[in-house]
Structure 1
């Protein structure tokens, strides 16, 4: 069963707790000893005041000092070990979920638009991991030991116990109130923070266009509005937490002083010894310390809880089925579409309706049509980027959803409308970042795209490092390297979405040659075209208009049928209404 399937059948919380139950058992055991050792200070002061001072025994004081030192050292070691366990639990949580979250994120991103910059699930994961590695969980493990300290306070005197109990109840109520009042602004902070980061990222990606069109100032103003929303929500949550935190600390200090005063009153009336004054004060402080520490980490706890719930919702709503482990043979015969309809995820409008055709090995198809006719959407459906809303795309009779994603990718070459290269070397991008790739395979793909000479003229050749998105290369260079990546490994099906939009005459000749070579080796090529030069090497045409097939068949017959002179331009050029500019 795949990891995604496992996470669908059980929540991340249950899986994490099940895998980490031994570690949590160890934390609970260590917390038991730590809280018992926390009594050291109280009993030491009790012995000093009630035994050492009345007897004036230096040897007893030294013995107690040595014992207390050893106990404090042991306590320190246990606390350090517990903290290290929490850090490793946080790391384990990240390792358990990070890959799955990124897989789901990529899967969701390719099928629909994400809110903000789309990276909120990773921030949610960071929030949970940060909280697990902080002192917050330790405070939660110490809370169950409050009755022990309160019980000892009652053992000293019922009034001391009652005062400590009332103080604990008040602090618990403060904690609950802070949680209720900060829940809404904390959620608003997360949402607003994601929106501001996403909007800023959009501005950075399109900074050149914004500058050229004089839009920079207005976009920055829009970002400031989102930033102000985030700051207001953050300030509201921070003010509430700061107020309750300060109130909790002040009340605990007041309660500690009140316990000292109450102890002194009891000593005056000879109902308690002098040691009880200090010991009860230390015990009360220790009993209430976990509550105060919980208040201090309440913001982190709320953020972690919000992140945890978001991750659970994201994984629960993910509906990708686990792929069968059976490896299908490489396609080599037929690409067929059977009544394919395409609808972007989250959109009710069908952008491509009931497309059916078949292509056999060695054939090439050009898809033409006006802008917005659904050409790119159909291309995404053919390569499996967008699942067909209705109908099926089949390779040699098998629908593409039967294929393992990574294995299917070996048989498909794809150049999207906007070529996005990844940060790395040119060779890594062409090789699709596969490990163990022979150099000749990369060079063969580059030569098939006729980009080898261009690459070797670069300062570091194939080892030239490019930035994310292909920073450092021209649009034409990115498109030709994207074509080389699509041709890497000689895939059987090659889908090219406007592959000549940024190419010069030399690049278009290379594109035509590459398409012909794919057909000659009995592959299938699908080309989305706005310029007729991209159609030179195909033998079939499919014309789309508003998502509906207008014509399909041999190139010459279809073009003759769907094109007509609409007007004569000033240069005497025919204007064609089939979505292919002359």
Structure 2
């Protein structure tokens, strides 16, 4: 899969290559379309023969023979048309299959690039729109259009006036179609954008339903949703109104054209220039000649959406290329080094963490403390490789984390974020990180290390208990203990815990400290971010962060004593300040 992705980047657009992979199927559709369009002449030829041969000869046998031939031709045409539709549906499914995993990786990575929720989910909708158009009747118009000249030539053969009328009618309908596309392009884009914003807001409200209800935010968010929804409805109206008048005129024009050619043919019959059968045949031929255009007009909305989705996917896949296949590295077991790193939020160039440097060896534990908004969680995200570094390097045993594939790096990382997120599934699946080959022994070992084994056994179905989306069936403390077990699963080398005791009681604090000690004893490295000193009992180093910088780092007891001494030392009385002068900076805030 990765080799195919790398080739696609070398040879051209990934989206184009996904379509190109179905080239043999497209050729088959084109061949079937040729046969279907040739068989579409059946009706015209049948009418000519009825009027010019059967009626004049009054031959029942000729009528029966021609009718049986026409029936066979129609059955063959219907069968080939059915097969053509199924082939297009499979082309759409194949296109989706080739890109779906890449799109999922893209959706999972875009929030880490600073994308909003509406933007992050747009690639999935774009893929659905392209697949939906490929599976519809819309593409058949593209395959039928090359055969339109055959029917126009047939009209010319019957009579030049009929041919010219058909050509002029086709040109007018094509012009109306292009004009419709030009007018609908902008409104269609705005409609897609507002639909994504509405969906994102509804999904955010759904995920935070408890907070919304408890804090009395229903009415206010409802008003905000109503504004977004109204904008979406207005965009829909503008998109509809931009084409409704043109579509109505095109429909009326096609009816006028259909009746007009019959009237012109009748005039030519009266003049004795064509036969009665030619009149009906010309009407059928013109109708068939214009059929691809009418199908294109009917599916133009889907075509426009698919085209916009194609361009967006091409752009975003080029901006966020797939990770190249990297050579596997040996499991880290020696040290973690941060070298003068600057870290900013995804999508920004403003550093939150600045000039942070430290070195941790196997078996060490670091407690990271400091006031809120000092950059502790940002540093944690950089250590596990989810937030980008603006400058500097983080290395595991000398290898920068960029040299690791994300999944390979994840096997050596344990991470408990400040905001715990669990997934819909069983407790065991969540602890095992949804690895299909996870062993029960490893899951239980992680749970025991986190002090969560007895807690899990007390659940209705133990490790097989389904916890619901976000772990809604668990309490806050239970979610945190399960998430800690997930972070410890597989004995990772580097374990980063961000506020791991925020929802824990005394027994939970004790289990957390035992887990930290067990990681150090087996030769791992632990980084603990906390405001509660209870979590620092089994670390040997403490670092203080202020304003995005590491202000002090050293043995735990020495650093904590220095902080306590500084906070308990009375500050000297400030000198009388001049009028309008700014107050002096406050001392280091108390930790804990």
TM-score (structure 2 length as normaliser): 0.94
**Offset at residue 128 of structure 1 (A):** 0.5
Superposed CA deviations along residues 267-318 of structure 1, whole A, max 9, x for unmatched, are 1111001101100001111111111111111111111111111111110101
Report the Cα distance in structure 1 between the residues aligned to 2:532 and 2:192, rounded to whole angstroms. 46
Which residue of structure 1 lines up, in the alignment, with residue 50 of structure 2?
48
For 1:577 and 1:209, how far apart are their aligned partners in 2?
35
In the alignment, which residue of structure 1 is the partner of 2:151? Answer: 149
Q: Secondary structure at the match of 2:470?
A: coil
1:356 to 1:3, Cα distance in 2 relative to 1, 3 A: farther
Instruction: Give the aligned partner of residue 299 of structure 1.
Output: 301
- Which residue in 2 is equivalent to 1:439? 440
The CA deviation at 1:385 is 0.9
Q: What value does the CA root-mean-square deviation take over the aligned residues?
A: 1.6
Contact 1:379–1:495 (Cα < 8 Å) also in 2: yes
Residue 281 of structure 1: which of 264, 280, 283 is its match? 283
Residue 344 of structure 2 contacts residue 352 of structure 2 at CA under 8 Å; is this kept in 1? yes
Q: Distance in 2 between matches of 1:580 and 1:120?
A: 45
Partner of 1:425: 426
* Separation in 1, partners of 2:80, 2:476: 59
**Which residue does the alignment assign to 1:408?**
409
Contact 1:245 1:292 in 2 (8 A): no
Q: Is the 8 A contact 1:371 1:579 kept in 2?
A: no
| Equivalent in the alignment of 1:95 | 97
**Displacement of 1:320:** 5.5
CA distance in 1, matches of 2:109, 2:4: 14
- After superposition, the C-alpha distances for 1:57-101 in whole angstroms (9 at most, x for unaligned) are 111100000000100011011100110110000001101111001
1:13 CA drift (Å): 4.0
Rounded Cα–Cα distance in structure 1 between residues aligned with 2:20 and 2:440: 45
Structure 1 580/410 Cα, relative in aligned 2: closer, same or farther at 3 Å?
Answer: farther
- Which residue does 2:72 correspond to in 1? 70
Correspondence 1:122-521 to 2 at 5 A: 122-319=124-321, 321-324=323-326, 326-521=327-522
Distance 2:529 2:113 in 1: 20
Cα displacement (A) at 1:17: 3.4
Shift of 1:20: 1.3
SS in 1 for 2:552: strand
For the pair 1:120 / 2:102, whether they are aligned, the reply is no
Q: Which whole-Å CA distance do the structure 2 matches of 1:560 and 1:147 have between them?
A: 91
- CA contact 2:377–2:498 (8 Å) conserved in 1: yes
- Could you tell me which of 104, 107, 122 is aligned with 1:105? 107
Contact preservation (8 Å) 1:118, 1:198: no
Matched with 1:573 is none
* Contact persistence 2:198–2:232 (CA under 8 A): yes
Return the alpha-carbon distance in structure 2 between the equivalents of residues 509 and 502 of structure 1.
13
Separation in 1, partners of 2:423, 2:481: 15
Q: Could you tell me which of 78, 85, 99 is aligned with 2:87?
A: 85
Three-state SS of the structure 2 residue aligned to 1:351 is strand
Residue equivalent to 1:540: 541
Does the C-alpha gap of structure 1 residues 567 and 238 become closer, same or farther in structure 2, counting only changes over 3 Å? farther
Task: Report the Cα distance in structure 2 between the residues aligned to 1:367 and 1:441, rounded to whole angstroms.
Answer: 29
Any unmatched runs of 5+ in structure 2?
A: 571-585
Q: Which moved more, 1:157-166 or 1:249-258?
A: 249-258
Return the alpha-carbon distance in structure 1 between the equivalents of residues 589 and 309 of structure 2: 47
Provide the rounded CA distance (Å) in 2 between the counterparts of 1:262 and 1:240.
34
1:555 matched to which residue of 2?
Answer: 556
Say if 1:530 and 1:579, in contact at 8 Å, map to a contact too: no
Query: Does the Cα contact within 8 Å between 1:532 and 1:580 map onto a contact in 2?
Result: no
**Cα distance change on mapping 1:126 and 1:379 into 2, 3 Å:** same
Decide whether the 8 Å contact of 1:153 with 1:280 is kept in 2. yes
Q: How far 1:565 sits from its partner (Å)?
A: 2.7
- Residue 18 of structure 2 contacts residue 99 of structure 2 at CA under 8 Å; is this kept in 1? no
Give how far 1:249 is off. 2.5
- SS of alignment partner, residue 336 of structure 2: strand
Quick one: structure 1 residues 319 and 356, their matched pair in 2 at CA, closer, same or farther if it must change by over 3 Å? farther
C-alpha distance in structure 1 between counterparts of 2:7 and 2:498, whole Å:
36
Q: How far 1:566 moved relative to its partner?
A: 5.7
Q: 1:289 to 1:553 in 2, by over 3 A?
A: same
| Count of residues in correspondence between the two structures | 574
For residues 3 and 536 of structure 2, the distance between their equivalents in structure 1, rounded to whole angstroms, comes to 42
| Deviation, structure 1 residue 344 | 1.6
Query: What secondary structure, in the 3-state scheme, does the structure 1 residue paired with 2:351 have?
Result: coil
Q: Is the 8 A contact 1:248 1:292 kept in 2?
A: no
* 3-state secondary structure, aligned to 2:341: strand
Given that residues 424 and 468 in structure 2 are in contact (C-alpha distance below 8 angstroms), is that contact kept between their aligned partners in structure 1? Answer: yes
Shift of 1:421: 0.6
Looking at structure 1, the residues matched to 24 and 590 of structure 2 have their Cα atoms a distance apart, in angstroms, of 66
Corresponding residue of 2:579:
none
SS at match of 1:336: strand
Cα 1:317–1:491 change in 2 (3 A) is: same
> What residue is the counterpart of 1:572 in the other structure?
none
For the 8 Å contact 2:112–2:346, the answer to whether it is kept is no
